Structure 1
């Protein structure tokens, strides 16, 4: 009797039939992506290691409880939109967001209220959004407790996850709650506008030009005391210091324009040659230097008339007046900028120009002297 060698896998009762590796092997990614959650469930999605422990359905559609919860959530989202619009209105009042439209309020009042109002409006908008989301999740969404073992996801798992999310959107009832959906759209638009509105400052940027290198001092601008009165030669005693500001709007509130007008004592003489281009910056025995320390921007307000030294109380830098306000002690490395001064036809001190160098501390493109 002849025998025939059977090749493994040919035919025979002990040979296993064809096996399948699961939905990923039986279907293409495009086919899986086209299926809804029900079809995916039939392929085993509902048994993919997920165990439903507890289900608490949301309020019945059309019930009084659902309508009440929907109104509450809609109210919070509407308030969020209102405060976002309020932010835009306040910001527009600065004239940056909509050039030419500015609130008719005093400069001092607006300066004091502008930033707090912006922060209050944005904070309330965010708070209302948070409360609305919490109310929506607690009162309108069905609650489901489930556990799933961690494993490496396949394409089938990813498609199932996407379908589950879409199914959750349908179960949330949001698509059929038109008023709430419309309020969300308005809130999203207002909130988005609130976030991008600060970019409107680029339309009307007050810091154009060279704000770090210039101040309000200019040719012919009078030197005023803090009370707004002008000053003449002879008004100060020898060895005294007077803080002066430019005679422009808000001059005594411009920190970078604060200047020390110093009258030297008769025995005090300049011990060094003035720096280049600054030989005629003084007027008689009067000199004017920036009040802003060149180390960290602190106000240098202490003056020792006997030694002719200006002291910064913050970090103890000292500047010698008779040496062009050169630093002689402490961390400062640059002299205080000198303001060129003269007198006008009425005999009052005026500036001959702005400072020829930037006031304040050294920054990235400023050389040390």
Structure 2
């Protein structure tokens, strides 16, 4: 006995003699189905499926005032959704280009305060208008039909008639003749699509440009400033003391990754000081400078025991020995504190000779112990 293949792509049994599997009483071959119009296929499929139409509302009369008003409402909703998406892109892409640069700071500008709310406003407005346009289109322009039908296995007959029904639904929607809606829909789709792609990162702005995780604001010639903005000279500190300094750049004392400990060693510690390989010239006289950011979890190293030359991180009790390149000697930290190379400028103030030669903080905490 022959079996009928109803898998996708098959003829649904149309190539086997006898009635089609799942088909009507009449024997319709693929050739007969392909010769029928879309409307006839739609009606044939409905009759075969046992569809009972309970109510039909054809929608507004084509060309009527009601239809034109509904088309304008939908078109304007889609158009405004596109405009809102473009405004999102203007704020997002234009910051730092033809609009002010956004930056976070405790005393930031009005633009910095409005940047994120504006992004949320325009994206939310765009997506809301998309929804409004779709609801208006469905409610006011599409024909509405209430019907019930039985469900059964698919066949070639089912696929052909169902396809005709779907295509018929597109034609019944009126989109082919409602140019205002199709054009605004295309504009909206392009703008909203770009808006949703833009925040993915790296597509317009690459946040990793310049290796931000591996550098700070320290550079050759940048002065070391106290928290109050005053520069530091050799001799300002007592032997065995520590002072936190920041780079003399805009916002320097608010850049947590640039916070540095300037330490003046005691005379006996100066003699015992053994810098790490390749860093013998990083200090200046009896002064050394190390990153204040603990290499374990990023807490600020803030305690200095001058008798033993140990720096203590209060979060997890890691200890670093200053006289041996700030290597960890106790606690969970496994990497030495990075050392900042320092010297003095022509006016006698401390300046950096370069940035740190290794990343600061815990970002690279899985590196081997140095």
TM-score range, shorter chain: 0.7 to 0.9
Q: Distance in 2 between matches of 1:362 and 1:205?
A: 19
Q: Distance in 1 between matches of 2:329 and 2:361?
A: 17
Residue 82 of structure 2 aligns to a residue in which SS?
Answer: helix
Q: Distance in 2 between matches of 1:25 and 1:251?
A: 84
> What are the ranges of 5 or more consecutive residues in structure 2 without an aligned counterpart?
1-16
> What are the ranges of 5 or more consecutive residues in structure 1 without an aligned counterpart?
1-17, 96-100
1:220 deviation in Å?
2.1
Cα distance change, pair 285–137 in 1 and its aligned pair in 2 (3 A): same
* Alignment partner, residue 189 of structure 1: 190
Deviations 1:237-276 (A, max 9, x none): 4444332222234433433322222234556567673211
Cα distance change, pair 203–37 in 1 and its aligned pair in 2 (3 A): closer
| Pairing of 1:62-101 with structure 2 (within 5 A) | 62-95=63-96, 101=97
Query: What is the aligned length?
Result: 346
Q: Distance in 2 between matches of 1:276 and 1:226?
A: 31
* Alignment partner, residue 258 of structure 2: 257
Let me know the Cα RMSD of the aligned residues: 3.3
1:102 aligned onto 2:102: no
**Range moving further from structure 2, 342-351 or 54-63:** 54-63
**Range moving further from structure 2, 130-139 or 299-308:** 299-308
Q: Distance in 1 between matches of 2:194 and 2:182?
A: 18
Q: Distance in 2 between matches of 1:78 and 1:290?
A: 54
* Alignment partner, residue 162 of structure 1: 163
Q: Distance in 1 between matches of 2:77 and 2:207?
A: 36
1:134 aligned onto 2:135: yes
Q: Distance in 2 between matches of 1:104 and 1:184?
A: 32
Tell whether the 8 Å contact from 1:221 to 1:247 is kept in structure 2 after alignment. yes
1:297 aligned onto 2:298: yes
Cα distance change, pair 72–275 in 1 and its aligned pair in 2 (3 A): same
1:361 deviation in Å?
1.9
Deviations 1:22-66 (A, max 9, x none): 4897433x7646754322145444332444444444334344443
1:167 deviation in Å?
1.4
Q: Distance in 2 between matches of 1:148 and 1:52?
A: 9
Tell whether the 8 Å contact from 2:310 to 2:322 is kept in structure 1 after alignment. yes
* Alignment partner, residue 27 of structure 1: 29
Q: Distance in 2 between matches of 1:32 and 1:297?
A: 72
**Range moving further from structure 2, 283-292 or 246-255:** 246-255
Q: Distance in 2 between matches of 1:333 and 1:54?
A: 76
1:80 deviation in Å?
0.8
Cα distance change, pair 35–267 in 1 and its aligned pair in 2 (3 A): farther
Q: Distance in 2 between matches of 1:72 and 1:154?
A: 41
Tell whether the 8 Å contact from 1:362 to 1:368 is kept in structure 2 after alignment. no
Tell whether the 8 Å contact from 2:247 to 2:253 is kept in structure 1 after alignment. yes
Tell whether the 8 Å contact from 1:270 to 1:323 is kept in structure 2 after alignment. no
| Pairing of 1:134-153 with structure 2 (within 5 A) | 134-153=135-154
* TM-score, normalised by the number of residues in structure 1: 0.79
| Pairing of 1:1-369 with structure 2 (within 5 A) | 19-21=18-20, 22=23, 26-28=28-30, 32=33, 35-41=36-42, 43-95=44-96, 101-104=97-100, 108-109=108-109, 110-197=111-198, 205=206, 207-265=208-266, 268=269, 273-305=274-306, 308-363=309-364, 366-369=367-370
Cα distance change, pair 248–162 in 1 and its aligned pair in 2 (3 A): same
**Range moving further from structure 2, 81-90 or 227-236:** 227-236
* Alignment partner, residue 11 of structure 1: none
* Alignment partner, residue 12 of structure 1: none
1:300 deviation in Å?
3.0
Q: Distance in 1 between matches of 2:76 and 2:94?
A: 27
* TM-score, normalised by the number of residues in structure 2: 0.79
Cα distance change, pair 31–213 in 1 and its aligned pair in 2 (3 A): farther
